[in-house]
């Protein structure tokens, strides 16, 4: 059975992957965001929230690495942590590029609409292109979110496993405590038996000495009365 520490590491790694997929899906949404600026702002707010959660879980993974008993386990987790950190930095770069491209596209669309009243052929073409990109991005986003949901289910299963491990651990601890109590009782009983055995031997010796003294006294009295001149 895996230890609770191993399960915690797996849960943390799964959550990191889940946040990574969710960030990638949001970046795709930003790339094809047709506007307005408020829609882009809302998407960026969601991305920031996911990045904050991702950063915290990467820090948790690093802390777990430092708590490992063996150098091999520590280095393995640190390697995974560094890989996820590099992936996070890559996502941040992609996020900035997507924001820049989206802002330029929104600005250009707004200028064209102001200049041509929103009904020029180039504007209509861009709208068609945007709609195509949105449909493609929606498919990609749905796939990423589907993977994210599966990762969430795996995290939930791992959390259930931790609960089972915790219950088993408590049961083992209670059993060990009972064994310790029984061992203490047996040890005390053994000490009492040895004490009573020594007491019994002492009592027998005292009885023997008392009988010897009694018979010696009787013999002395008989000797004095029956053989007074000896």
pLDDT in tens, 110-122: 787 777 654 545 4
Cα 199 from Cα 205, distance rounded (Å): 10
pLDDT for position 118: 47
Q: How confident is the model at residue 86 (pLDDT cuts 50, 70, 90)?
A: very high
Mean pLDDT score, 198-220: 83
Q: What is the reported pLDDT for 161?
A: 65
**Which among 35, 78, 41 is positioned nearest to 59, based on CA atoms?**
78
pTM reported for the whole predicted model = 0.53
- Asked whether the beta carbons of 37 and 160 are under 8 A apart, the reply is no
The rounded distance, in Å, linking the Cα atoms of 74 and 68 is 5
> Domain residue spans in the chain?
1-114
Write down the residue that tokens 């990109």 correspond to.
133
Give 104-162 pLDDT, tens digit per residue.
988 888 787 777 654 545 445 555 555 555 565 556 566 666 666 666 666 666 666 66
Is it the case that residue 9 has pLDDT exceeding 70?
yes
Both tokens of 31, joined, read 């790339």
Give the fold, CATH level 3, of 1-114. Methane Monooxygenase Hydroxylase; Chain G, domain 1 (1.20.58)
Arithmetic mean of pLDDT over the chain: 79
């Amino acid at each position: 059975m895996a230890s609770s520490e191993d399960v915690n590491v797996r849960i943390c790694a799964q959550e990191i992957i889940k946040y990574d997929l969710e960030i990638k899906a949001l970046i795709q949404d930003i790339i094809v965001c047709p506007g307005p600026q408020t829609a882009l702002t809302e998407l960026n707010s969601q991305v920031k929230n996911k990045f904050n959660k991702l950063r915290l879980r990467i820090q948790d993974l690093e802390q777990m690495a430092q708590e490992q008993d063996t150098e091999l386990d520590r280095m393995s987790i640190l390697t995974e942590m560094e890989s996820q950190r590099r992936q996070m930095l890559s996502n941040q770069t992609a996020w900035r590029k997507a924001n820049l491209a989206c802002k330029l596209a929104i600005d250009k669309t707004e200028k064209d609409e102001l200049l041509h009243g929103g009904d020029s052929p180039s504007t209509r073409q861009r709208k068609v292109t945007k709609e195509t990109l949105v449909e493609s991005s929606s498919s990609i986003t749905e796939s990423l979110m589907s993977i994210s949901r599966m990762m969430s289910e795996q995290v939930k299963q791992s959390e259930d496993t931790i609960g089972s491990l915790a219950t088993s651990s408590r049961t083992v601890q209670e059993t060990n405590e009972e064994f310790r109590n029984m061992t203490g009782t047996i040890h005390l009983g053994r000490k009492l038996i040895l004490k009573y055995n020594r007491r019994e031997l002492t009592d027998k010796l005292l009885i023997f000495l008392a009988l010897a003294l009694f018979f010696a006294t009787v013999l002395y009295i008989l000797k004095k009365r029956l053989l007074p001149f000896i």
